[in-house]
Amino acid sequence: MRSKCREKEHYVDATPQIVQLWMHRVLINLNMYKKFITPHGFDDFEMAHALGVTDLTTQTDIDVVTIDFSGFDEVKCLREIERRYLELEARSHELEFSKELASNIQQISELVGLNSSESILLGFVVLLKTNSALQTACDLLGDLTTLVMSRYISMILNLPLDDVEEALRPQSILNRSGILRVDRSSGTSMARRLDLLSNEFADTVSSSVSNPIDLIKAMVAPSTPAHLSMADYEHISDQIAILKPYLAHALQVKRSGVNILIYGAPGTGKSQFVKAISENLSVELFNVSTEDEDGDSVHGHIRLSAYALAQHFFAKRKAIILFDEIEDVFSSDGRFNQSPAQS
């Protein structure tokens, strides 16, 4: 039998060994080899490349790899996968995230306060979102409940089950910080159940970043300069006389839980007022984006997650965070539309 499939980018020499170990654990420890190894060959060509088990007769042209599966030996392939798994497991204590990912995970952990298990889980989800071979391997597990998913993650990462269950709880630091969202609806795949702040966040955390603020720049960015000054708001001078010293003191003592609601008709200068008073107080102003890099609107619960994470990132800085268009987080009947991170 001959099988054709498009040539993939993730070959074994480009797949991190820690990812290979996790994939092998899915196949061997969770018995998913029964789905991956079929009488007619491997279930997924890219995954086989990532595992390094495609030492079959191939004929290659520019766009397509043609694989000859005649005489495919299922038992031999399983034994080879088991051999590779044992080799990786014997060196599991040596396997680490890439230098870039490890550095960024450490920065996030220090800013947010993650423990070692939460840090490893975050790295796993980042790789689950950015490495399609790992996602394919985890998709073999099928639709999962939250409880079953926790048990599988514990086995894949070799972490205590209690640690994983705690990290995935609604009130965990990963959820409350807005970094990780867990879909608690009816059963679905692991990759769909676990979501990060944004797709851009996963890509950024995987790359080289010198400033931790750059990790969330796609969702929370420095505000543009004000076009107006405090002199343009003399008509609300009484409110400013209360607000300005209150904000100045809160910033000086690093008080938490300081939220100011500014309301008014569209076009009356609400956003410009925030910019103006921030400049007057000589503090940084960051804005929670309403659009993604493609210009599409960002859902309210994602913006709320970004706002929650920004508070951790800027906790030690003199900064104000502007959450414009706050109606995004209210449902049509006026109720507060909580994000999974806040539920």
Q: Which tokens is 186 given?
A: 């009816």
Q: Where are the beta strands (DSSP E) in 141-300?
A: 180-182, 194-196, 220-222, 284-288
Angle at 227 between CA 225 and CA 231, to 5 degrees: 115
282-285 long-range contacts (CB < 8 A, ≥24 apart) are 282/318, 283/251, 283/318, 283/319, 283/320, 284/222, 284/314, 284/317, 284/318, 284/319, 284/320, 285/222, 285/223, 285/319, 285/320, 285/321, 285/322
pTM as predicted = 0.79
Q: What are residue 182's phi and psi, to 5 degrees? A: -110, 120
pLDDT (tens, 9 = 90+) of the chain, 343 residues, equals 334 333 434 344 578 999 999 999 999 999 999 999 988 888 888 899 899 887 643 434 434 444 445 567 888 889 999 999 999 999 999 999 999 999 999 999 988 899 999 999 999 999 999 999 999 999 999 999 999 999 999 999 999 999 999 999 999 999 988 899 898 877 789 999 999 987 788 888 988 876 777 888 878 889 999 999 999 999 999 999 999 999 999 999 888 888 999 988 888 999 999 999 999 999 999 999 888 777 778 888 888 888 888 888 888 788 999 998 887 676 555 555 554 444 3
Q: Please count the other Cβ atoms lying within 10 Å of the Cβ belonging to residue 94.
A: 9
Report how far residue 323's alpha carbon sits from residue 17's, in angstroms, rounded to the nearest whole number: 41
Q: Which tokens is 64 given?
A: 């397509």
- Label the pairing between strands 319-322 and 284-288: parallel
Q: Please count the other Cβ atoms lying within 10 Å of the Cβ belonging to residue 128.
A: 22
